[in-house]
Amino acid sequence: MTTINSVEFVKSKIRDILDFPVKGIVFKDITTVLRDKEGYREIIKFLTEKFQDKNIDYIAGIESRGFIFGAALAYELGAGFVPLRKPGKLPGETLSQEYQLEYGTDTLQIHKDAIEAGKRVVIVDDLLATGGTAGAACNLIRQTGAEVVAAAFVIELQDLNGRAKMPENVETVSMIVY
Ligand code: AMP
């Protein structure tokens, strides 16, 4: 069982890096949790408990830190793992979804044949900030005809209100809220 203690333990292992990648951003560095064998396990345990009874077919991990948590979660759930990647990385035919950044746009891609229509999918990333990335991931999965059951994060920055950007009927799950 995930307890308040395990949430606090993981939180204590997250490192703040000021002014990275640009001035004014407080970067939540999760490498300091990953290198801790208990910290990493507690995160995967938390996510597994949330979804083990939900008949999840696929975990879609967002490049690149979403792969680290998403792959381990897929393994634990006995689900498939599907990478959502930056443009130009996937070798097969792809679907694309563009999204807005503070300055300019970015794009996520998925293999066209990665997920069958009607399948139940959970999106995973390390952190929910404004919700632009995860919102685009939801729209991308929906292009395949699959159902996005939930979007799961290790960290949520509540002030940026990313939850509000998630489409209706998508549960938002986060382990640690700042
Ligand atoms: P957003 O699209 O604004 O929700 O941003 C989420 C994406 O940007 C995630 O893939 C995060 O890894 C990354 N990100 C945004 N803000 C931070 C932050 N303060 N610390 C670490 N990663 C961040």
The pLDDT tens digits of the residues spanning 142-176 come to 999 999 999 999 999 999 999 999 999 999 999 99
Looking at residue 142, its amino acid is R
Say how many C-beta atoms besides its own lie within 10 A of residue 159's C-beta.
8
Q: Is 28 close to ligand 1, i.e. is its CB under 6 Å away?
A: yes
Examine residue 64 and say whether the peptide bond preceding it is cis (omega within 30 degrees of 0).
yes
Give SS3 for 90: coil
Say how many C-beta atoms besides its own lie within 10 A of residue 91's C-beta.
7
Q: Is 177 close to ligand 1, i.e. is its CB under 6 Å away?
A: no
Distance from Cα 128 to the centre of ligand 1, integer Å: 6
Q: Is 127 close to ligand 1, i.e. is its CB under 6 Å away?
A: yes
Give SS3 for 158: helix
Q: Tens place of pLDDT for every residue, the chain, 178 residues?
A: 788 899 999 999 999 999 999 999 999 999 999 999 999 999 999 999 999 999 999 999 999 999 999 999 999 999 999 999 999 999 999 999 999 987 899 999 999 999 999 999 999 999 999 999 999 999 999 999 999 999 999 999 999 999 999 999 999 999 999 9
Alpha-carbon distance of 95 to 25, in angstroms, equals: 31
Give the tens place of pLDDT for each residue, 63-72.
999 999 999 9
Tell me whether residue 142 is one of the annotated catalytic residues: no
Distance from Cα 129 to the centre of ligand 1, integer Å: 5
Measured from the Cα of 66, ligand 1's closest atom is: 10
Q: Which domains does the chain have, with CATH numbers?
A: 55-177 (3.40.50.2020)
